[in-house]
Structure 1
Amino acid sequence: MLVTERRKQRSGDPSLLASMYRNWTGSWENLKAGRVWTLVTSAFSHSEMGHLFMNMFTFYFMGSAVAQMLGPKHFLTLYLFSAVTSCLGSIAWESYVGRNSRGLGASGAIDAVLGFLACAAPRMTFMIYGIIPVPAWLAVGGFFAYDVYGTAMDNRPGVGTAAHVTGILTGIAWYLVLFA
């Protein structure tokens, strides 16, 4: 997405960016047009390098632990399923509040991995900012509360807080279905 926007600025040709919006972002408009694949492809599209870096950093450390617990097939299923549910959660929320915005990024699916991990290994230590040790259940509970508040107050424009909330809930539900 970032590369596409820069190319559009240089060339003045909006067609590539329009194609990205149609095929790589989650939106009510895309679903109405039958582009259901965007429920998955939006999780592989990022608008900024920092956004991509933070998602992949978290995914690398937390995803590795969950992949070892579940095995590759079940891990991939969790990841793709939560990409879909978090995108749907974001679209539903945006529609509810009367916006037709587009969502993108892996955060919702990664938050599902975090939600699962907090249930499977609640005492695992997360290092917040690399220096503050916090048990997984407390860290993920804090992330969840922060995103619920952000969604309810609508105070984090450009951040898919509803996707984050839906992702964490999906990860918790996944754990409960498998292990409860």
Structure 2
Amino acid sequence: MRHTSRKTPVSNALVSRLRPLQHRLSSSIPRIEYFQPSPSEESNMKFIWAVMAVNTSVFVFFWYRRQEAQQTHDYEKVNRIVDNFTLGWKGLQEGRWWTLVTHDFFHIGLTHIVFNMVTFFAMGQLLAATPGVRVGHLAVLLTGSGLSSAAGFLFTRDRNSRKESQSRALGFSGVSSGFVAAAACLHPTVKFALFGIIPAPAWALAGGFFAYDWYNIYNRSSGIAHAGHVGGAVFGALYWLLRLRKVRTTALWPKVTTPGPIAPRITRRF
């Protein structure tokens, strides 16, 4: 999420390998059994792709309107879009309550939307492949993270200050922060490549991002609504605590069992 006064996800190749499979070489050699992937994964991924399509469609539509305005020098339509897709106290005071939701799907810069969509897809794909997680869970996580992100941004802005009441927030990063937090709580040891290079476990990435946003929560010069990120992350963690932690995660990884009366059964979890 931005404000203005104006990775390595679970790949399809990995999931495709997690088919029911059992190798029995001899009674003395451990056998590996792969669990069935989540039966809801396909529908979950359709939801993830649909959300990304909405974000992309809004971005392309605004880009087209902006190009049109630059040619005609008529910015009325562009200003109307900005007013209805950005969040701020001024807009809420004027009755545009829908901006509590629409601001999540609005991006101006290409880098902004690409970073948000890559993050959302990486974490969304991991959650989608988790047995027990369904479309309803993803929808609640998205909605709650978005609204909590909006609340975080508004809480740190003085509605009675003319300058701060005109400050606006936009972007999907508040929702992405919620997905990052939920995914990290469910799968803390899964590793992602930070900036595509540095491997780091999910718990470290989520914790690092949260600490950075918390430290800069009242920073007005960064151009980033850090409080919105904090709000989204808090909801994601709470939703995991109250709901998602009950889902099973063992189905994503093989369990290694050693036959024999004296060998304990070992289940590998993350």
TM-score relative to the length of structure 2: 0.62
AA of the residue aligned to 2:209: F
Match of 1:8 in 2: 69
AA of the residue aligned to 1:152: Y
Q: What is the aligned counterpart of 2:175 among 103, 109, 115?
A: 109
Match of 1:90 in 2: 153
Identify if the C-alpha distance between structure 1 residues 84 and 97 changes in structure 2 by more than 3 Å, giving closer, same or farther. Answer: same
Is residue 143 from structure 1 mapped to residue 209 from structure 2 by the alignment? yes
- The Cα offsets for residues 78-130 of structure 1, whole Å up to 9 and x where unpaired, read as 11221121022112212279413111110000100001111111111121111
Is residue 41 from structure 1 mapped to residue 107 from structure 2 by the alignment? no
More displaced 10-residue stretch of structure 1: 9-18 or 136-145: 9-18
Match of 2:230 in 1: 165
Q: In structure 2, list runs of 5 or more residues that go unmatched.
A: 1-61, 247-270
AA of the residue aligned to 1:117: A
Could you say which structure has the greater relative contact order, defined with CA pairs below 8 angstroms and 6 or more residues apart? 2
Higher helix share: 1
TM-score relative to the length of structure 1: 0.90
Q: In structure 1, list runs of 5 or more residues that go unmatched.
A: none
AA of the residue aligned to 2:239: W
**Preserved contact between residue 2 and residue 48 of structure 1 (Cα < 8 Å):** no
Q: What is the aligned counterpart of 2:141 among 78, 91, 116?
A: 78
Is residue 18 from structure 1 mapped to residue 79 from structure 2 by the alignment? yes
The CA distance in 1 between the partners of 2:191 and 2:126, in whole Å, is 12
**Preserved contact between residue 63 and residue 113 of structure 1 (Cα < 8 Å):** yes
Match of 2:194 in 1: 128
- The Cα offsets for residues 138-173 of structure 1, whole Å up to 9 and x where unpaired, read as 11111111111222343412x121111111111111
SS in 2 for 1:103: strand
More displaced 10-residue stretch of structure 1: 2-11 or 39-48: 2-11
Identify if the C-alpha distance between structure 1 residues 33 and 67 changes in structure 2 by more than 3 Å, giving closer, same or farther. Answer: farther
**Preserved contact between residue 40 and residue 84 of structure 1 (Cα < 8 Å):** yes
Identify if the C-alpha distance between structure 1 residues 105 and 11 changes in structure 2 by more than 3 Å, giving closer, same or farther. Answer: same
**Preserved contact between residue 156 and residue 218 of structure 2 (Cα < 8 Å):** no
**Preserved contact between residue 193 and residue 199 of structure 2 (Cα < 8 Å):** yes
Whichever of the two has the greater Rg, that structure is 2
AA of the residue aligned to 1:103: A
**Preserved contact between residue 55 and residue 106 of structure 1 (Cα < 8 Å):** yes
Identify if the C-alpha distance between structure 1 residues 92 and 8 changes in structure 2 by more than 3 Å, giving closer, same or farther. Answer: farther
Match of 2:90 in 1: 29
The CA distance in 1 between the partners of 2:151 and 2:93, in whole Å, is 13
AA of the residue aligned to 1:68: A
The CA distance in 1 between the partners of 2:219 and 2:88, in whole Å, is 21
Give aligned pairs, total.
179
The CA distance in 1 between the partners of 2:136 and 2:95, in whole Å, is 28
AA of the residue aligned to 2:193: M
The CA distance in 2 between the partners of 1:153 and 1:41, in whole Å, is 24
How far off its partner does 1:135 sit?
1.1
